[in-house]
Every structure is written in C-alpha cells, then in structure tokens.
Amino acid sequence: MASNLSIEFAGIKFPNPFVLAPAPCTDNAEMVARAFDAGWGGAVLKTTSVESEVVELVYPMLAGLDFEGRRVVGLENIDLISERHIDRVEQDVRDLKRAYPDRVVGASIMGARKEHWQELAARLEAAGADFIECSFSCPHGMPERGMGSTIGQDAQLTERTARWVKEAAGRVPVVIKLTPLVADIVHIAKAVKRSGADAICAINTVKCLIGVDLDTFVPYPQVGGKSTYGGYSGAAIKPIALRCVAEIAKGVDLPITATGGVCTWRDAVEFLICGASTVQICTEVMKRGFGIINELVDGLSGYLERKGFSSPRELVGLALPNIVEHSQLPRGLAPMSHIDRDLCVQCHTCYVACRDGAYQAITIDDEGYPVVDPDVCRGCGMCAEVCPQESCITIAAR
Ligand SMILES: Cc1cc2nc3c(=O)[nH]c(=O)nc-3n(C[C@H](O)[C@H](O)[C@H](O)COP(=O)(O)O)c2cc1C
C-alpha cells in the first residue's frame, strides 16, 4: 500500500487529506483527540464566537432523510455555532497542538462585526491554530445578526470581511467557507481571492425543508410544534458540492478544501480529482463514528497504488480538463443502448423507463427479453441508469 498520504494545503502539511469538518464531532478537545488517535489528519473545531455572543440552541436539531431502506441519505440540522466561546476553544487549540503537534488544527470563527472577526482570528492564531476558517455560509445560523450565509451570498461583504480577518491573522492561512446558495459561486470565490485570503472551503450545507408530518402539518425537526429551514448535508449533497469545487478550481487560483457528502474514499478521490487538496467530513462521521478513517485511508492508499500514483497531490485536478461547457461537448457521436442477455433478469425496468421516460426504443421479445431498436434508440442512458444489474446495459457506439 502507498503509505505516504501526506498533502499540503495552503502551505500546511496534512498527514493525510481526511479532516473533520466543524460540527458536533469537533466541539471539544476530547472528541478531537479521540479522532486523532483513530488516524484523522486534521480537524476544524466547531465554529466559535466572542464571549459576548449569545448562542441559543433548540432541540431536537436534526432530522434525517431515509431512502428505500437506507437511513440518513441526507441530514437536516438546525444547529448553530458552538455554545463554547472562544476562551474555551483557545484552550482546546493549545491542548490539541501540545498533544498532537503533527496533526492540523483549524479554528472556525463567525463574528457579527469587524472587531469580533479580528479578535477571534488574532486570539486563535495566538493560541496556536494552524489556520483560521471563516464561516460565511451557514444557511440558518443567525442571519438576523448579519452572520452566516448573509455574508457569503454577497461578493462585497465576502471581500470586505475576509480582508478584515486576513489583516488580523498575521501569519496563519485564512480559509473562507462558502455557501452553494448563490447564482455563481465563482463570482464569490473571486471576491475571496481579491481579499487576499489564502484558500476556500466549499461547501457549507444547503438550505432545506426535509419533510412535513402529514398528520400535524409540522415539518421536521419539530420544536414545540414549529420548525424552520435548516442545512442539508450528507450523501445527498455530494453532486452539488462536487460541482461547486470543480467550478471554483477551474475559475480561481486558490487551494480548496472540499466538504459536502464525502462518505467513502471514492468520494474523496472524486473531490481531489475535481480540484480539492483535502476533504472535510461531518455527516458520515456523525453516523458511523471516527473509525471510518481506517477504510478511508486504506481505500485511498490502495487506489493510489493500483493507479501508480505516489502521492494524493498527483490526483488534484485531474478531472478538470474533462469538464467543459455544454456547447463544447462532442456532437454527432450517436451512441446506443446494448443489453447483455446473459445478465438480464427480465425485470423490464428498462422497457418501462424507455417507454414512458425516453424514446420508446425497447420492446420485449417472445422469450421476455428487452430488445433495442437501433433506428429509434438515441443512447440517452436512462435504461442503463435504472437497470438493477451491474454492467447489463451499456451505452456505446452502434
Ligand atoms: C449538526 C451540524 C453542525 C454543523 N455545524 C457547523 C459549524 O459550526 N460550522 C461550520 O462551518 N459548518 C458546520 N456544519 C457543516 C459541516 O461542517 C459540513 O460543511 C457540512 O455538513 C457538509 O459536510 P457533510 O456532508 O460531510 O456533512 C455543521 C453540520 C452539521 C450536520
């Protein structure tokens, strides 16, 4: 196995690209120490604020989306920043850096005004944080005080606030965590670049309403008969996060730490080849615990070895040349669907999907097998996507 998974991000050396995202998993030093003992390369401590900031949490704060028997494919949270103010987080940073000098400790901050942002950054840098991550991106966290995604949805506010933090954090890199809830994330990422900040974290959670109780008409999570819009995370948001990371990587020259739906080593590789240098994970750890680091490390090591790479750095951005505008896609290829009769279980799922969702190119023969009419099939891909048998249907040249 390729044993050296270390990678540099914003000038900081990580022992491996797997980092805990700021969340309940990183809300105190004891938890992060256990994660480091398990093998995590770094952690971003849950977002903190100045002592005067009032943080009033509500419970329950979580609701999961189950899909076809799989629990928590997506997770809504209405959590806020940490109840633990900067004085306690400063101590966490000191304790963790003393005990784990080779691991990376990021401190996440959120402020209501310039003095708060600058005080938070300066104090956490002095405590020994390896980088300062600024949340400009929580979709539900205290917008009434001008915090959270209120900043990240506006390029001018993003540039101005990032510059304040950069002024205060003299030595350590400043990472700006962006929201996907904008029309053009590259426009915002360019504002980060102009501010002089060092890197981007993409993406924070996606504003959502996960579901509604059909008897009481109260959405989830239910807090005393009411609910609110929350932040969506987990496997369900990976495609949105991957798109944002790729767009930023193609549009702006800044290092990226990716977060949003990383559940497996394969997800992590996808984020690296779309331009990220590290991945931050939250929901999958909340579901399955710190121990998932073993399968992440083994999976990535095995992949690098099989592919002949010597470092995760060699993966960064490999997919980017293959992502083009729609108008630049090759035209006139005319592929079609090919069904392998040996693998077909005659479920007719492809037939129904083609009949009612595509081009009516599939018929059923006398023996019950689906047959593709090459004159009608356009190769749209729907039959292959719904087929339950792996490799049974392929879309290829006719
Ligand atoms: C319960 C919960 C609390 C979170 N708290 C924070 C936070 O304090 N600061 C922050 O920047 N992101 C916070 N996040 C967002 C995560 O750091 C992460 O960016 C997001 O969940 C996407 O990653 P995932 O799909 O791996 O969960 C929180 C997410 C959850 C689920």
pLDDT in tens, 334-354: 999 999 999 999 999 999 999
% of the chain beyond a pLDDT of 90: 96
Mean pLDDT across 65-73: 95
Is there an atom of ligand 1 within 6 Å of 238 CB?
no
Planar angle of CA 395, 396, 398, nearest 5 degrees:
120
Work out the pLDDT band at 1, boundaries 50, 70, 90. Answer: very low
Give the residue among 118, 108, 92, 98 at the shortest CA–CA distance from 31: 92
Residue 146 has pLDDT above 90, yes or no: no
The whole-number average pLDDT for the span 255-282 is 98
Query: Does ligand 1 have an atom closer than 6 angstroms to the CB of 202?
Result: no
Question: Look-up: residue for tokens 């590259």?
Answer: 186
pLDDT at residue 152 greater than cutoff 70: yes
What mean pLDDT comes out for the span 114-118?
98
Which of the four pLDDT bands, split at 50, 70 and 90, describes residue 148?
confident
Catalytic annotation present for 25: no
Q: Report the chain's terminal Cα–Cα distance, integer Å.
A: 40
Give tens-digit pLDDT for 293-314. 999 999 999 999 999 999 999 9
Instruction: Tell me how far CA of residue 366 lies from CA of 284, 341, 357, 369, 388, in angstroms.
Output: 47, 13, 23, 7, 22
Interval 250-266: pLDDT, tens: 999 999 999 999 999 99
List 138, 354, 377, 380, catalytic entry? 138
Which atom of ligand 1 is nearest to 234's Cα? 25
- 72 CA distance to ligand 1 centroid (A)? 15
- The chain-wide mean pLDDT, for the chain, equals 97
Supply the pLDDT for residue 142. 84
Q: Does the pLDDT at position 3 exceed 80?
A: no
All structural domains of the chain, each given as residue ranges with its CATH number in brackets, are: 7-322 (3.20.20.70), 330-397 (3.30.70.20)
Contact 177, 137 (CB under 8 A): yes
- Measured from the CB, is residue 281 less than 6 Å from ligand 1? yes
Give me the pLDDT at residue 145, please: 87
Cis before 388 (ω within 30) = no
pTM confidence score: 0.97
Radius of gyration of the chain (CA): 23
Residue 2 confidence (pLDDT): 45
Q: How many angstroms is it from 21 CA to the middle of ligand 1? A: 6
